[in-house]
Chain A
Amino acid sequence: MQFVRDRLNFLFRSTKGLILVAVAMIALETAVFGMLSGPMAEIGVRDVVVRALRMDLVQAEREGRIIILYHSIAMAVVAIESYMITGLLKMKEFYRAAVRVLVSIGYLMAMIFGMGFAYWGHNWAFHGLYIAGLTLIFFAGVLLTIGLWPWNKETYQPDKAYARTKKGVDMERVAFFATAATTLISAGFGAIPGSFFGNGFEAFLAENIIRYPEKTTMEYSVIGHLHIMLALIAIMITLIVGRWLNFKGILHKIAMPLIILGTIVLNLGVWGVVTPLEPVAHMIIYVGATPAMLGALMLVIFGWQKLIREGVAGIQKPSFLQKLAALVRDPLKFGPLWQMVFMNFTVSGIGILMAVRLDEIFRVWPAREERIELTGHWHVLSAIIATIILLYYGDMIGLKGKVRKLYGWAIIILSDIAFASVTLFEMKRLFITEATQQPLVNTVMLLMDFGLGMLLVILAMVMAWRLADLFKKNGRWTEELGQDDLSAEVR
């Protein structure tokens, strides 16, 4: 009994255990439900999975199922970010514990009961528990926001190397606070229409109504919600990576106000879509997104400079190649920043191109082509966030030597192959006709599946290792049990 109690204590009461459980849950869900669409459906795997797991898939409920699937994965990601924030930042113990308890119960309920409701018939008790799970996560967010309150002298930043006000208010904490607070408000933009459309279950996917010239306020709200929530998860992971890499100095002082300003303006723009400001909402969003992305750029510059500086320490006049070698020496530290840069080619750049040439190019194509671009766009952004989390997690669990390099480079290379392929697939109509596209489609689909499939295999190997480790008396888990404070690992 003590054996089980110790393991459960690690998995559900320690920072790294909680993150491990959430990563494992996402991996499991992605592996199972990833077999229901795309090429897996084409080759017949979906039918086998549906029969083997006795799923009940009603055609008219596909959109609703997908919405629950996205949400259940997103909630686990929100939980991981919450564990990281509560592990990295100073916070009263009450808030740290309450946030973790609520968010853990919340995402597990949302995932288990939500998926049970969506894919295995409609047990309405499950639906209620799914909603209850989402509600708990919201309350966890409220407590997290309170816990992050930056105008508390105990959390003031004494070190002038970091962005701070004259009085000492920690600007980075303000950025965390602003992101958490606006996330709560933006959650409402999904919850309110969710309740509205849920009454009668008229679920829809935003990408399917994008061309309708007249949209209701509730429809605008849903579109705004999905955009801003993903953007806020991305901003939060940027801040987390910044703390992990001990972001400081002049770039930190420039970046934090930019991120705070960008986050607030970005939110105002998105909230504006349900107000008479709708016609100019996109402009406000661009105005907000630009400083937020510049802030992330500062982090990338800082991080890469730091990696180079540390890597060439001891070399008097390092050459360019030596600097480059230093930069890429540790894929787990280089990777998250690289993924942020790569995102510009596969997400932001595509988004900007679509925005500026929408009517001239993209809206000349059928709506279905535009839908492919839209879904590809945010799937890649979500997956990039996931890879950044996995890279940080690899560092967190103490991967060393060749395993560290293999794990890190595999995540970077495999995911980037997949993301680049998705981007080519999205944009194929720019350079190939429908009649002649099949060889290109086959190749990019193969690369996409290879990249993502192998990534899942690597994740499965790590999870298998962690599972086996739990059976050891003095396994890695016993060390991690005492490493609750992630800020102690920041160098």
Chain B
Amino acid sequence: MKRLIGPLLAVVLLLSACSPVDLNSALPIHETGVDPQAWAVVPAGEFLSGQHNDPVTIEYDYEIMVTDVTVTQYASFLNTALADGTLHIDGDQVVGYYPGDEFHGAKHEIEITAADYAYVPLDDPAARITFDSTAFAVRPGYETHPMTNVSWFGAWGYCGYYGYRLPSELEWEKAARGSADDRPFPWGEEILRNNANFYASRDPFEDMGSFGSRTSPVGFYNGRSYGGYATLDSASPYGLYDMAGNVWQWTGDVYEGQHYRYLRGGSKDTYEMDLRVWVRNNATPTYFSPGVGFRCARGP
């Protein structure tokens, strides 16, 4: 019997790897008090860019959303844009037109031609919007969470629809870091678990034993306490929330010789090293994930 204990434990352990994840498990509901419609002004001027603090000047004022675009905001966009024919349904996805990129034939570059591209999938188990053949709705509980499972095209399309645009990487970084110093995080030098939503940060939305990390409502880390969980005010110098953690954010640059689009800010699924303001991630523009969202910029 003793000889069986080891193999049995091994089998139990291996089976635990296959245990199902309940993506509909109850979600804590918290009101953050941060307005997702708000914009912040980033003034023209120099800031220190990148890990090695290169002085860079952005010579114009611009505005950027204080929070990530929420699921409610995106569902509203989908409904309006579907109704006016900007978007349409193609199989299991919502698609919209993109005019394509200049192709340079560089190594590993994939041509992005003018065509319809998927904005959001409709059949993904992690989707936060539902579609009943006529209208889009928000899955209950996720109203003020960042819109995720959205491709770069979907982010680009949302911002463009309202006359905005995705921020460039430099605009994003300046908005996150401010222009006063070389801080690694939007709020300062060090990161604590209640500064941001990152992997194993023990926030009220995660359960590492089952579904793992989940997003938090936009603006959650604003110094408030939620049912005993105290957050630190982690706004950037310009008052932006969630510029580190929660979801990676698509940025708007299209670089010569590559089809990749760049993401900033780290997410609920990454260690804190990826939350440093200069860290870059990238993916194909069709990529979507429960850990990727976006916010828009406007101006000059």
Contacts and interface: CB of A to CB of B under 8 A. Distances in A.
Interface of A: 41-42, 59-60, 62-63, 200-202, 204, 208, 211, 213-214, 279, 358-359, 363-368, 433-444, 446-447
Nearest to A44: B193
27 contacts: A63-B51, A202-B51, A204-B51, A208-B280, A211-B108, A211-B282, A213-B109, A213-B257, A213-B258, A359-B110, A364-B283, A366-B248, A367-B280, A434-B126, A434-B290, A435-B290, A436-B20, A438-B210, A439-B16, A439-B17, A440-B17, A442-B208, A442-B209, A443-B14, A443-B17, A446-B13, A447-B13
Contacts of A211: 108, 258, 260, 282
Given A59-B189, A60-B182, A435-B126, A367 B283 contact: yes
Interface residues of B, number: 54
Contacts of A202: 51-52
B125 A436 contact: yes
A363 B21 contact: no
Given A211-B258, A367-B282, A439 B19 contact: yes
Contacts of B19: 439
B245 to A, nearest CB: 14
A436 B184 contact: no
B200 A200 contact: no
Nearest to B189: A59
A436 B258 contact: no
Interface of B: 13-14, 16-21, 23, 51-53, 106-110, 124-126, 182, 184-185, 189-191, 199-200, 208-212, 248, 255, 257-258, 260, 263, 269-271, 273-274, 276, 280-284, 287, 289-291
Nearest to B104: A213
B271 A41 contact: yes
Nearest to B107: A213
A439 B248 CA distance: 22
A93 B274 CA distance: 51
B291 A436 contact: no
Contacts of B13: 443, 446-447
Given A59-B189, A436-B21, A443-B13, A364 B208 contact: no
A200 B53 CA distance: 11
Contacts of A436: 20-21, 23, 125
A355 to B, nearest CB: 12
Contacts of B190: 59
> When A and B form their complex, which 8 residue pairs have the shortest distance between CB atoms, in order from nearest?
A438-B212, A443-B17, A435-B126, A59-B184, A366-B283, A42-B200, A213-B257, A436-B21
A359 B189 CA distance: 38
Given A41-B271, A366-B282, A200 B52 contact: yes
A174 to B, nearest CB: 37
Contacts of A368: 270, 274, 281
Contacts of B283: 364-367
Nearest to B193: A44
Nearest to B16: A443
Given A60-B184, A213-B107, A435-B126, A440 B18 contact: yes
Contact of A214 (B17, B257, B274): B257
B287 A366 contact: yes
Contact of B211 (A208, A279, A438, A447): A438
Contacts of B287: 364-366
B108 A213 contact: yes
Contact of B212 (A200, A364, A365, A441): A441
A60 B51 contact: yes
A279 B290 CA distance: 37
Given A434-B290, A438-B208, 20 more contacts: A42-B200, A59-B190, A59-B191, A60-B52, A60-B276, A208-B280, A211-B108, A213-B258, A364-B284, A366-B283, A368-B270, A434-B289, A435-B124, A435-B211, A437-B212, A438-B209, A443-B14, A443-B16, A443-B17, A444-B17
Contacts of B110: 359
A471 B184 CA distance: 50
Contacts of A204: 51
A416 B248 CA distance: 34
Contacts of B185: 59
B284 A363 contact: yes
A363 B17 contact: no
B32 to A, nearest CB: 24
Nearest to B22: A436
Nearest to B184: A59
Contacts of A63: 51
B221 to A, nearest CB: 18
Contacts of B107: 213, 279
B108 A359 contact: yes
Contacts of B281: 366-368
Nearest to B52: A202
A63 B108 CA distance: 26
Nearest to A440: B17
B274 A363 contact: no
Nearest to A435: B126
A366 B248 CA distance: 11
A41 B108 CA distance: 36
Contacts of B199: 42
Contacts of A359: 108, 110
Nearest to B273: A62
A63 B273 CA distance: 10
A358 B110 CA distance: 12
A439 B190 CA distance: 30
Contacts of B126: 433-435
A372 B123 CA distance: 28
**Residue from A202, A214, A438, A443 whose CB has the most chain B CB atoms within 10 Å:** A438
B142 to A, nearest CB: 13
A435 B189 contact: no
A50 to B, nearest CB: 11
A442 B282 contact: no
Nearest to A200: B52
Contacts of B17: 439-440, 442-444
A63 to B, nearest CB: 7
B18 A439 contact: yes
**Residue from A213, A363, A435 whose CB has the most chain B CB atoms within 10 Å:** A435
A366 B282 CA distance: 5
Given A364-B287, A366-B281, A213 B14 contact: no
B138 to A, nearest CB: 17
Contacts of B21: 435-436, 438-439
A365 B281 CA distance: 11
Nearest to B15: A443
A76 B112 CA distance: 49
Contacts of A437: 212
A186 B191 CA distance: 39
Nearest to A208: B280
